[in-house]
Structures are given as structure tokens and as C-alpha cells.
Homo-oligomer: A and B are copies of this chain.
Amino acid sequence: MDAKVSTKPHEMLAATLSDEMAAVNTLIRTRMASDHAPRIPEVTAHLVEAGGKRLRPMLTLAAARLCGYQGEDHVKLAATVEFIHTATLLHDDVVDESGQRRGRPTANLLWDNKSSVLVGDYLFARSFQLMVETGSLRVLDILANAAATIAEGEVLQMTAASDLRTDESIYLQVVRGKTAALFSAATEVGGVIAGVPEAQVKALFDYGDALGIAFQIADDLLDYQGDAKATGKNVGDDFRERKLTLPVIKAVAQATDEERAFWVRTIEKGKQTEGDLGEALALMEKYGTLEATRADARAWAAKARSALDVLPNHEIRAMLSDLADYVVARLN
């Protein structure tokens, strides 16, 4: 990775789309206001202004621009996508009373569960109003289906995360729900409002889908090999939270009886002791699953890049291609 800021593809996209991103930010601020419930902007400002990369809305703007879109609805849809993302973060933040907060950040994003749920619902409702304003039933259909995939993936993750029967195909469904469904909807709607041919709409969907999967696999891999300073997470958080991700799923698939007993104890039963993380890492090393996971992430990034082939040759296409490389470049 180059240290110079301007060569990071998401920053190049942000610079190229800066006027439209400014319009998105203004719209987000306007629409999260509530005359009746002043707590809402208080909460959402804290989240929405927190200076995230705004990757999802940028994907919508980029797709629309790449497809030559001339209207204003891409700004609404970009804000829609960011609202859905923020609402999802809020709902993810709800915790149970059973005290399974080990390994989580020390505090909720918000002050309590109830606020997380209700303010999240408000953002969902606002996103729904915004997308209706575009007047496109096809866009509504895409986003409704994405919402169902996201919710289904979240429920699936809840039940599958600590279940050793979870295989790579279930993992992929979870990843689509968690990450890829919103990425692919974000890019697809950009093409739909621009009215490009079906093959290009499909290419945008495929790009977002593969990019999201690459992104999430990379994230899950970094949990086991990341630099705590760079990722802001401790190595092995997912292990401590008994969350099956791809590197472990691959190790479980090849486990001896004795190794399987180790995974049953640490993941299914959650009875972990000092040294278990080291043992888990040793098993991943034994079967080369970190390397295999890295190869999977790169394959998805390559799939994302090649999906772009049928789209117009444009500086934004090059940036989107670089972005796919970038999400896996962290893994070097």
C-alpha cells in the first residue's frame, strides 16, 4: 500500500464525487432531524458525522456517474443506503442481558438498547421515505429485497455463529446479509436510475456483491492476523466471541477427532481458557486456512474487477477496480 493519501481508491472516489457527497451529507443532516423527538438527531449526528468512509453511498454515486446518470435521485439513494447502514449498526449494537459482552467495545454506540432499536427504526423509516421519493418501483424492489437479505443474514448469523455445522455456504449467506447485500444494492440502484441496459445493471450488482464479500472475508481474516493498532481490534476477538468465520470453518472441516473436540469446547460450548487462542491459531496454521482464506478474498476481489468489464470505460470504473484491489491489499 502506498502511504500517499491521494492514491487510495476510496479517497480518489471521494475527491471525484466531492460535490455529490456534500449533497448527500446535507440531505442526511436534513432528513435525520425530527421536530417531535429531538433525541433522534442527537444520536444520529454522533453516528453519521463520525467520519466513516461513507463507502456505501459513494458506491451509489459512483455507479450512477459511471452510467452517465444526469438526475438528482442518486443523492437520495446514496443517503438511503447510508441510513440503512447506520440503522443496521444501531440494531447490531443491541445486547442481551445474559452478559455476552466479552470482547465487545466497552460501551454501546448509544446509551441503551431501547434507543438503539428505536432510533434505528426511525432511520429505516427515513430511508424508506427517501427511496419512495425516487418514484422507481424497481429501485424499491431492489432495496426491499436487500433489506430482507440483510435481516435474514443477521438472524442466520445469530443461530449459526457458534454452530460447528456452519459450512462455507452458510458463511457466505451470512456475509451476503451482513455486508454484500447493501453493497450490491448500492451499486445496482445507481445503474437502474441511469437506465442502462440489463447486462450493465447485472454487472453493477455483481461488482457490489463480490466487493462486499471480499471486504467481509478480509475483515474476518484480519481478526486473526491483523495489527491491533491498524484495525483497532484485538487479535482473536471473533474467537473469544465464539464466532465462526472462514478461517475457523476451514480448520473445522479438516479437523481430527481431537481437534474437533477442541472446537466444540471453545466455540460451541464457549469454555475457553488461557492458551486456547494460541491453539486455534496453530490449527489454522496447520491446515493453512489463513492462506486459503486470503486466496478466497482475492478471488472475490478479482471477480469484482472483472464484473466491471461490460461497463463504460471511465475514470470511475478504474477507481472501482482499484477499490476491489484495495480491500484485499490490507491482507499483504
Contact = CB atoms under 8 A, between A and B. Distances in A.
Interface in A141-179: 141, 143-145, 147-148, 150-156, 158-159, 173
Contact of A152 (B98, B117, B122, B155): B122
Given A125-B151, A154-B118, A112 B137 contact: no
Contacts of A128: 128, 143-144, 147-148
A96 B112 contact: yes
Given A39-B159, A91-B117, A150 B125 contact: yes
A40 B155 contact: yes
A5 to B, nearest CB: 37
B122 A144 contact: no
A121 interface: yes
A145 B129 CA distance: 7
Given A95-B114, A112-B96, A129 B158 contact: no
Q: Is the interface of A mostly helix, strand, loop or mixed?
A: helix
Given A145-B129, A156-B37, A124 B95 contact: no
Interface string A12-42: 0000000000000000000000101111100
A281 to B, nearest CB: 28
A38 B165 CA distance: 14
B94 A114 contact: yes
Contacts of A125: 144, 147-148, 150-152
Contacts of A141: 129, 132
Nearest to A111: B96
Given A112-B96, A132-B144, A144-B125, A118 B36 contact: no
A215 B308 CA distance: 55
Contacts of A38: 159
Contact of A91 (B39, B112, B121, B152): B121
10 cross-chain pairs, A with B, having the tightest CB-CB distances, nearest first: A125-B147, A122-B151, A125-B148, A37-B155, A121-B151, A128-B144, A37-B156, A129-B144, A96-B112, A118-B154
Given A96-B112, A125-B152, A128-B148, 17 more contacts: A37-B152, A37-B155, A37-B156, A39-B159, A91-B117, A94-B113, A97-B97, A113-B113, A115-B155, A118-B154, A124-B124, A125-B150, A128-B128, A129-B144, A129-B147, A129-B148, A135-B137
Interface of A: 34, 36-40, 91, 94-98, 112-115, 117-119, 121-122, 124-126, 128-129, 132, 135, 137, 140-141, 143-145, 147-148, 150-156, 158-159, 173
20 contacts: A34-B152, A36-B152, A36-B153, A37-B156, A40-B155, A91-B118, A95-B114, A97-B97, A98-B112, A113-B113, A115-B155, A119-B155, A121-B147, A121-B151, A124-B147, A125-B148, A126-B148, A128-B144, A132-B137, A140-B140
